Amino acid sequence: MKQTTLKKAVVLEDIGVHSGKPARLTIHPAEANSGHTFLRTNLENGRERLIDARHSAVAATELQTVISDGNGASIATIEHCLSALAGLGIDNALIEIDGPEVPILDGSAARFVEAIDSVGIVTLSKSRKVLKVLKTVRVEMGSAWAELVPASSGFRLDVEIDFENRMIGRQRRVFDMSPAAYRRDIARARTFGFMRDVEKLWKAGFARGASLENTIAVDEERIVNPEGLRFTDEFVRHKLLDAVGDLSLAGATLQGTYRAYMPGHKLNFKMLEALFADRTAYSYSDTATKREPQYEHGRAEVFISASAYAADMS
């Protein structure tokens, strides 16, 4: 398999779900072996900073995944954008953003997928870098757990959730990664949260851009959103969506099976930490070295705007 990138740049604009601050995000094509890299612009004194989308750059995992350069530049809620890129099999992209948090859009990865599909994907000359899981690695957080298990080919996710709230209950879904399946089964699954937690989140500085426009709001006896659910098991599908994005921070296409019970951003991150802590647990099928991404500023081909959206409170 060869590496890929976008044919043209796309632009998406909205507020951040937690910060409530506006941001304009442009996904640029990038050269082979560039990987996924964020370019944070509009910093103090006009500074710009590149931040690799790698697990080693993760700075926080509470209700979102945040990466940082360690010198004051950070980007929050990166998981939905990265999930779309990984789900569509895009190996290389430069993600330019002028605010502190990725636009929330509709709370899923659907708008990212639509924007990318509108310009298309191009195949590059270099071979895809694959990270092969060689032995089972497991992490636990209380009753929650996750493990990466070897597989002869491909990447499978097997995720289960179990909530006391009867509107969610126990759900499990097994997903074999492919662009077609991702578009059909995962991309449209929205984040969700509980009405009882809203005030607590606001006091903690989260969900300042939240509304019913995207989040599935769950009360004790009902789904608050008048349109209802997009899937009967939309909750576990969104957990799969987040896991695809978080695990893409491995920096290469995974070959293995990810099994998890009640995962969240922190557990997904700890899974990567545990994998890379054991050099005997993985190998690469290609030894290509990472290069700085090349891009051109200019008028993007696609523009998508949205109003205020809601928090990843799950």
Q: What is the pLDDT of residue 225?
A: 86
Going from the C-alpha of 17 to that of each of 14, 75, 227, 281, the distances in angstroms are: 9, 13, 20, 36
**Which amino acid, 58?**
V
**How far is residue 1's CA from residue 244's CA, in Å, rounded to a whole number?**
19
Residues known to be catalytic: 265
**Distance, CA of 268 to CA of 126 (rounded, Å):** 29
The answer to whether 240 and 157 have CB atoms below 8 angstroms apart is yes
Q: Which domains does the chain have, with CATH numbers?
A: 2-127+288-305 (3.30.230.20), 130-284 (3.30.1700.10)
Please give the pLDDT value at position 304: 35
Instruction: For the chain, count helices (H), then strands (E).
Output: 6, 20
Evaluated on CA atoms 252, 290, 139, 263, the torsion sign reads negative
The conformation of residue 129, written as its DSSP 8-state character, comes to P
pLDDT value, residue 308: 27
Can you tell me whether residue 43 is helix, strand or coil?
Answer: coil
In degrees and rounded to multiples of 5, residue 223 shows phi and psi of -90, 120
pLDDT of residue 65: 97
Residue 66, CB-side half-sphere exposure with 13 Å CA sphere: 20
**Residue of 59, 131, 181 whose CA lies nearest to 281:** 131
Q: In angstroms, rounded to a whole number, what is the distance separating the alpha carbons of residues 122 and 295?
A: 15
> Mean pLDDT per segment of 10 residues, for the chain of length 314 residues?
97 82 95 98 90 97 93 93 98 96 94 98 97 98 98 98 93 98 97 75 62 80 91 96 98 98 98 98 72 39 33 38
Sole residue written with tokens 């991150």? 269
What pLDDT is recorded for position 163? Answer: 94
The residue length of the chain stands at 314
Can you say how many angstroms the Cα of residue 246 is from the centroid of all Cα atoms in its chain? 5
**Rounded CA gap, 44 and 53, in Å?**
22
State the pLDDT at residue 209.
52
pLDDT at 211: 67
Q: Which two tokens stand for residue 149?
A: 């298990």
Q: What pLDDT is stored for residue 210 in this prediction?
A: 61
pLDDT value of position 307: 29
Query: What's the predicted TM-score (pTM) here?
Result: 0.89
